[in-house]
């Protein structure tokens, strides 16, 4: 048996044991990714390779900066009470479909800004969920609403953690770690969000409020609108307009919100909301780096490169996507996230954001589908939904998710002709 197989076996064994023992607890996943990296370098007889373990996260640093800035901005809006007042306005919309769609976009907004579905659950999802509970809506229906909003928010642009993870697989091939994903993500997610709203309009429009909503504070509202304008202009006109990127927009907006009454303490707490997913991202970077250093990636290339002729690379990518989703049910995110980056490796120089977006769906679905330690667990725990069941809560998402999967496969198969989506 080649040494590289043994190294891979040790790394995966540590991770699988860790995930099983901790019931896929997210904060432990980062710790076990780190331990698996150490175990891998030890198994390869290289000692504890601090250099690779520390260097790995730097592949994700710039994208993580945007994630952190987005989380900072969202957290400050939430802690200033802006989100609660905004929800009041959304719930006073009269049309059922429009109210349902706006509610989903409201819940998903922190996910759009930061790329983290968990942030949606912790902030806007919590606000909406508590209101739904107060109106006596069943736990299962609350779970459907919050999980749907958080999942589609995560997959919508500008920031999308699964796409950030997948783009790492292209290494330095893409112009920067995470650029050009706005339109591909929008084209992928928007039809699914609309289908989900249409199919579940009754459930999603249960929450409503009569009477006049509270007035929104002027400065946070102005900052909020300006950030949206900046994100849309830069996202839709990437090739023509550059105003500093998402990170700068979120950061300046956050500074203004801190001075508008948010305070430094709120900024500290807001950033903490993003720490565990970002730690998972960074430790995944270490895991990938150690797998490259010890030759695991080399063996993978050796096995897949002969297949790269005759269009069989696509088959490798699709198979890895399918394995990622299947593993996601049992082991939540870490291993699927690793496989998603490896799915991008074979195309290397040929990677474009459309193909990478398609592949990233597998990581997103792995988080959604996880029976333990996924989006359902996070939502049920945060909102204390004791009567919500995993199957019942995810069933309404089945058709929209199948549509997303179909669109993802189309993006993987026809990524090159679709490259006009990269604005």
> Which candidate, 368, 302, 407, 16, places its Cα nearest to that of 161?
368
> Using an 8 Å Cβ cutoff, are 203 and 141 in contact?
yes
Q: At what angle do helices 3-21 and 334-344 cross, to 10 degrees?
A: 140
DSSP readout, 129-176? HHHHHHTT--HHHHHHHHHHHHHHHHHSSS--HHHHHHHHTTTT-SSS
CB neighbour class for 342 (10 Å; exposed up to 12, middle 13-18, buried from 19)? buried
Report which of 155, 152, 154 is spatially closest to residue 184, judged by C-alpha positions. Answer: 155
In angstroms, the Cα distances linking 136 to 140, 209, 211, 258, 312 are: 12, 13, 19, 36, 53
Closest contact distance (angstroms) between CB of 178 and other proteins is 15
Nearer to other proteins, 55 or 209 (CB): 55
CB nearer to other proteins: pick between 74 and 247 = 247
Backbone phi, then psi, for 180, in 5-degree steps? 90, 15
Which CB, 5 or 272, lies closer to other proteins? 272
CB 262 to other proteins: min, Å: 13
In the complex, minimum distance from the CB of residue 247 to other proteins, in angstroms, rounded to a whole number:
6
The residue ranges that bind other proteins (CB under 8 A) are: 25, 27-28, 30-31, 34, 54-55, 57-58, 61, 64-65, 68-69, 72, 244, 247-248, 251, 267-268, 271-272, 275-276, 278-280, 282-283
CB nearer other proteins, residue 133 or residue 372? 372
Nearer to other proteins, 165 or 394 (CB): 165
d(CA 359, CA 178): 14
Give whichever of 280 and 404 is closer to other proteins, judged by the CB atom.
Answer: 280
Instruction: Report, in Å, the least distance between residue 64 CB and other proteins.
Output: 8
The nearer residue to other proteins, 278 or 380, going by C-beta atoms, is: 278
Q: Which of 56, 44, 57 is nearest to 11 (CA)?
A: 44
Of residues 31 and 46, the one with the C-beta less far from other proteins: 31
* Residues 6+ positions from 420 with CB-CB distance below 8 Å: none
Minimal CA–CA distance to 33: which of 336, 299, 330? 336
Distance CA 51, CA 225 (A): 43
Phi and psi angles of residue 65, each rounded to the nearest 5 degrees, phi first: -65, -40
CB 248, min distance to other proteins, A: 7
CB of 382 to other proteins, least distance (A): 16
Smallest separation, CB 71 to other proteins (Å): 10
Report helix, strand or coil for 235: helix
**Residue closer to other proteins, measured from CB, 26 or 141:** 26
């Amino acid at each position: 048996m080649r040494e590289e197989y043994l190294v891979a076996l040790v790394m995966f064994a540590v991770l699988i044991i860790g995930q099983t023992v901790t019931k896929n607890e997210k904060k432990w996943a980062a710790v076990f990714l780190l331990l698996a990296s150490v175990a891998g370098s030890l198994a390869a007889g290289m000692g504890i390779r601090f250099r690779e373990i520390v260097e790995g996260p730097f592949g994700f640093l710039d994208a993580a900066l945007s994630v952190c800035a987005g989380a900072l901005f969202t957290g400050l809006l939430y802690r200033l009470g802006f989100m609660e007042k905004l929800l009041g306005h959304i719930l006073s919309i009269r049309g059922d479909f429009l109210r349902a769609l706006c509610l989903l976009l409201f819940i998903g907004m922190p996910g759009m800004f930061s790329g983290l579905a968990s942030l949606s659950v912790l902030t806007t999802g919590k606000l909406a969920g508590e209101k739904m509970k107060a109106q006596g809506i069943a736990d299962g229906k609350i779970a459907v609403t919050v999980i749907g909003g958080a999942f589609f928010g995560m997959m919508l642009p500008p920031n999308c953690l699964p796409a950030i993870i997948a783009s790492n697989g292209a290494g330095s091939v893409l112009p920067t770690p995470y650029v050009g994903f706005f339109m591909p993500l929008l084209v992928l997610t928007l039809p699914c969000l609309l289908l989900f709203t249409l199919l579940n309009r009754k459930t999603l429009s249960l929450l409503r409020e009569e009477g006049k909503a509270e007035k929104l504070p002027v400065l946070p509202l102005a900052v909020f609108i300006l950030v949206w304008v900046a994100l849309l202009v830069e996202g839709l006109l990437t090739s023509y307009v550059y105003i500093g990127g998402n990170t700068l927009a979120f950061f300046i907006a956050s500074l203004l919100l801190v001075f508008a009454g948010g305070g430094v303490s709120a900024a500290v707490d807001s950033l903490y909301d993003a720490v565990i997913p970002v730690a998972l991202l960074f430790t995944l970077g270490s895991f990938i780096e150690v797998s490259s250093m010890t030759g695991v990636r080399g063996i993978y290339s050796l096995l897949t490169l002969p297949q790269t002729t005759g269009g069989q690379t696509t088959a490798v990518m699709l198979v890895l996507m399918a394995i990622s989703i299947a593993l996601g049910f049992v082991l939540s995110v870490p291993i699927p996230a690793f496989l998603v980056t490896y799915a991008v490796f074979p195309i290397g120089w040929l990677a474009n954001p459309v193909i990478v977006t398609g592949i990233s769906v597998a990581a997103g679905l792995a988080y959604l589908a996880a029976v333990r330690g996924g989006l359902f667990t996070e939502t049920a725990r945060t909102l204390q939904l004791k009567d919500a069941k995993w199957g019942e809560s995810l069933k309404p998402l089945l058709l929209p998710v199948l549509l997303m999967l179909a669109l993802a496969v189309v993006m993987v198969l026809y990524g090159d002709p679709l490259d006009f989506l990269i604005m």
